[in-house]
Amino acid sequence: MSALAYALSDTMVLAKRSLLRIPRAPDLLLSFTVQPIMFVLLFVYVFGGAIDTPGYEDYTDFLMPGIVAQTMSFGGFVTALGLAEDLKKGLIDRFRSLPMSRSAVLAGRTLADVATNTISLAIMIAVGLIVGFRFSSSPFEVVAGIGLMLLFGYAFSWVFAYFGLTASSGESAQAIGFIVIFPITFISSAFVPVDSMPSWLQAIAENNPFTTVVDAMRALWVGAPAGNDIWGAVLWSLGLTAVFAPLSVARYRRAVSA
């Protein structure tokens, strides 16, 4: 077998390992099934009445692309937690002593995140439809939106991989992720129209790449004007991956378990 074939096989072995743990550690399961449901319901029913979204049928149509994008950006926390734990338990030492691909541990975890993100996404869309969300675009665009979300989630898995290998524990990796990513997702067009914000905040929100991604999703799912947002969102996702994947692999190559 070629080196590439081995790398793929190593990645699949490790992705399977990451997925096997999910039904076995139900606490994780809650965070990417129940939590997104809760968010959708809270936003729709608590804020829905108070937030004006001119140009949209109702707040649910405005919210869904935003909250889905936010959930995808956090899906990678499973990777951060897992890697931090592997470091602590000495598993990274074991993996690094094996004749396997140097990127497989990370590629396997981030790939497993795509599977769990798919589950979150399906659950959120189902709940959204139940509370009144309607796609108002072509089936092709709906599918393209799903693809964009998985790509975007994948990019963030690499960001989290880096946090997981850098932080001193799973908890602190999660905390760093939360502190960095949470504000980025809120100071954007995800939950409220940008022009309802104070003007200094508008400047930040308009230039926030997360706004680009959310606007791209609105274009793909509810037929909002797209501009360059779709390409922008794809480029941002690819760019994040292109930066954080090599950074994380470099980190992994030097990582030594506690």
Partner 1 sequence: MQDAAIQAEGLRKSYGNVEALVGIDLEAPAGTILGLLGPNGAGKTTAVRILTTLLPPDGGAARVAGLDVVRDAARLRARIGLAGQYAAVDENLTGRENLEMVGRLYHMGRAASRERADELLERFDLTDAGQRLVRTYSGGMRRRLDLSAALVARPPVLFLDEPTTGLDPRSRIGLWETIEDRVAAGTTVLLTTQYLDEADRLADRIAVIDHGRVIAEGTSDELKERVGGERLEVTLDDPRHAEIAISALAPMVDDRPTCDGTNLHLPIRRGRGAIAEAVRRLDTAGVGIDDIAVHRPTLDDVFLALTGHTAEEAAEDGRPPDAEPREERAAA
* Interface residues toward partner 1, by CB under 8 A: 1, 6, 9-10, 13-14, 17, 20-21, 24-25, 87-91, 93-100, 104, 168-169, 254-258
Residues 63 and 48: beta-carbon distance below 8 Å = yes
DSSP string of 33-102? HHHHHHHHHHIIIIITTT---TTSSSHHHHHHHHHHHHHHHHTTHHHHHHHHHHHHHTHHHHHHHSSS-T
Question: Which residue, among 223, 243, 247, 220, has the nearest Cα to 233 in the 3D structure?
Answer: 220
Q: Which is nearer to partner 1, 17 or 223 (CB)?
A: 17
Using CA atoms, how far apart are residues 181 and 257, in angstroms rounded to an integer? 26
Sort 197 into a burial class: Cβ within 10 Å, 0-12 / 13-18 / 19+. middle
Using CA atoms, how far apart are residues 231 and 85, in angstroms rounded to an integer? 36
Report the nearest approach of partner 1 to the CB of residue 154 (Å). 23
Q: Which is nearer to partner 1, 186 or 251 (CB)?
A: 251
Using CA atoms, how far apart are residues 205 and 194, in angstroms rounded to an integer? 7
Using CA atoms, how far apart are residues 19 and 40, in angstroms rounded to an integer? 25
Q: Which is nearer to partner 1, 93 or 206 (CB)?
A: 93
Q: What is the CA radius of gyration of the chain?
A: 19
Tell me the CB-side half-sphere exposure of residue 9, using CA atoms within 13 A: 8
Report the nearest approach of partner 1 to the CB of residue 106 (Å). 14
Report the nearest approach of partner 1 to the CB of residue 164 (Å). 12
Q: Which is nearer to partner 1, 115 or 184 (CB)?
A: 115
Report the nearest approach of partner 1 to the CB of residue 159 (Å). 19
Report the nearest approach of partner 1 to the CB of residue 21 (Å). 4
Q: Which is nearer to partner 1, 90 or 147 (CB)?
A: 90
Report the nearest approach of partner 1 to the CB of residue 6 (Å). 6
Q: Which is nearer to partner 1, 150 or 161 (CB)?
A: 161
Q: Which is nearer to partner 1, 170 or 177 (CB)?
A: 170
Report the nearest approach of partner 1 to the CB of residue 102 (Å). 9
